[in-house]
Amino acid sequence: MYIKQFFEPKSCTYSYLLMCEESKEALIIDPVQCDLDKYINEIKSINAHLKYICETHIHADHITASYLLKTLTQAKSIVHKNTEAKCAEIFITDGDQFYLGEISIHALATPGHTNACTSYYVKGYVFTGDTLLINGCGRTDFQEGCAEQLYESVYNKLFTLPDDTIVYPAHDYKGKLSSNIGYEKKNNSRLALHIKKDQFIQIMNHLDLRYPSQIDQALPANKLCGKTP
Ligand SMILES: [Fe+2]
């Protein structure tokens, strides 16, 4: 399987283009509107047929490129059924599967950062969105976030994957590209196995984070798949 990671520096977002090398069917995870040209150039250069646009959640820190990609390709957008993005074509829930050629992609509902967060598992890789970051996790103080739910998503879903599963998150703010489940179980400063649920909830309830600067533009746009005036 072909995987290309893209980095958008303003929101420190990672997006991922995946392609089945036999069928040339491809999907993109969490594309960012301002990087549209990069994705289109890459899709053309590898001769891919973009089939799906997968959102791990409705983002508050950037506008998705989903709407523009849909106007330029045949791709259908995929979101969890609990989102308010009624513009999507496919609404998924935990355990759903879809395919690029023979390669299956499994949707894992991992709520907590938002109530509709989904991770995508593909052959030894998991794309965790903001549920599990490298040595961290997404905040839980807006978009129906819930620290207890996030802890349970990580422990009951992500940490049950094999330790060598590569973790590809939606963000990293320190330049790290990927991690793996075994490393995060041992070393994640919020979620490592020695940290109990109560401690985690305490940590999350005292983060004292700033109101996200893009949220008032990003959320309404992303509920329309990133359609902007
Ligand atoms: Fe997020």
Tell how far the Cα of 14 is from the centroid of ligand 1, in angstroms: 11
Tell how far the Cα of 102 is from the centroid of ligand 1, in angstroms: 30
Judged on CB neighbours under 10 Å (0-12, 13-18, 19+), 192 is middle
**Residues of the chain with confidence (pLDDT) below 70:** none
Q: What's the 3-state SS for the chain?
A: CEEEEEEECCCCEEEEEEECCCCCEEEEECCEHHHHHHHHHHHHHCCCEEEEEECCCCCCCCCECHHHHHHHCCCEEEEECCCCCCCCCEEECCCCEEEECCEEEEEEECCCCCCCCEEEEECCEEEEECCCECCECCCCCCCCCCHHHHHHHHHHCHHHCCCCCEEEECECCCCCCCEEHHHHHHHCCCCCCCCCHHHHHHHHHCCCCCCCCCHHHHHHHHCCCCCCC
Tell how far the Cα of 131 is from the centroid of ligand 1, in angstroms: 8
The confidence score (pLDDT) of residue 181 equals: 98
Tell how far the Cα of 103 is from the centroid of ligand 1, in angstroms: 27
Tell how far the Cα of 62 is from the centroid of ligand 1, in angstroms: 9
Tell how far the Cα of 54 is from the centroid of ligand 1, in angstroms: 14
Tell how far the Cα of 127 is from the centroid of ligand 1, in angstroms: 13
d(CA 26, CA 74): 11
Tell how far the Cα of 166 is from the centroid of ligand 1, in angstroms: 20
Tell how far the Cα of 226 is from the centroid of ligand 1, in angstroms: 15
Tell how far the Cα of 61 is from the centroid of ligand 1, in angstroms: 7
Tell how far the Cα of 60 is from the centroid of ligand 1, in angstroms: 6
The confidence score (pLDDT) of residue 229 equals: 83
The confidence score (pLDDT) of residue 47 equals: 98
The confidence score (pLDDT) of residue 89 equals: 98
Tell how far the Cα of 217 is from the centroid of ligand 1, in angstroms: 14
List, in order of start, the domains of the chain with CATH numbers.
2-209 (3.60.15.10)
pLDDT tens column, 60-95? 999 999 999 999 999 999 999 999 999 999 999 999
Largest Cα span, the chain: 49
